[in-house]
Amino acid sequence: MSQGSLLLFGVLPYAAIAVFIVGTWWRYRTDQYGWGARSTQLLESRVLRFASNVFHLGVLAAIGGHVLGILVPQSWTEAVGLSDSAYHVIAVIGGVSAGTAVCVGFAALLYRRIRYSRVRVTTTRADVVVFALLALGIISGMLATLTNLGDSVNYRESVGPWFRNLLIFNPSPESMTGENVSFIFQLHVTLVWFLYAFWPFSRLVHVWSIPVDYLRRSPILYRTRTSRTTRPPRPASAAARIDVGGQ
């Protein structure tokens, strides 16, 4: 195993997680006013509504697939009667569907940011880096799924154990090298770690801005002011008294 593989699959994950945790804490302590997505919904809402919903739903589905494929050991799914071939079919269908939603949503978000000048001028350098990492991560993830339709790489016996070993501080970078994992899988994993490392320094921190207080806040009652045109007409006697008084 080369030193490069050791750095990418043995050192980089822990470094990225450390930067993610410390950077998130530092960002919250020093930049609470910038803690959010800095929404541009007021500048353009029609495309954003579609793109954001599709993108986020696709991301949630993709995360669910990654959890099932990487964190859940193969022996567990076999124990409940799900064969490896059946799992692979489900994983391919789910992965392609989720990946397609992510691609469509991301493409729409990118189009919106380029097409509308009022949105484009709000783009920062950090946004450019995030868009680049997301684009490369999404493309490599789709390629990893599409090139593995024949189950040429059994990531449940390579990527899965490697990731679970990271969680128990027993790294096994050799699981991600050689014939165990193809280059596209290695690239996808590496890009994701770089994205996590850059996360605290971008608007991606908005995922932590969950409005928990809304759940316990008392409801606010809004009332509309009665329009003058809807008020009942004055009695004739009252109008006459006003006219007399005015004289």
Q: Give CA–CA dist 226/230, Å, rounded.
A: 7
CATH number at residue 77: 1.20.950.20
- Please, where are the H alpha helices in the chain? 3-6, 12-30, 46-66, 74-79, 84-115, 117-120, 125-146, 159-167, 183-198, 213-216, 236-246
Distance, in Å, from the CA atom of 22 to the CA atom of 79, rounded to the nearest integer, reads 39
Domains of the chain: total: 1
User: Closest by alpha carbon to 108, among 54, 182, 178?
Assistant: 54
Task: For residue range 107-129, list pLDDT tens digits in order.
Answer: 999 999 999 999 899 899 999 99
CA dist., res. 185 & res. 178, Å (int): 12
Place of tokens 């490697």: 162
pTM, rounded to two decimals: 0.80
Nearest CA to 37 out of 214, 207, 199 is that of 207
Confidence bin at 244 (pLDDT 50/70/90): very low
User: How far, in Å, CA of 84 to CA of 74, rounded?
Assistant: 8
Domain that holds residue 118: 3-246
Q: Average model confidence (pLDDT) for the chain?
A: 85
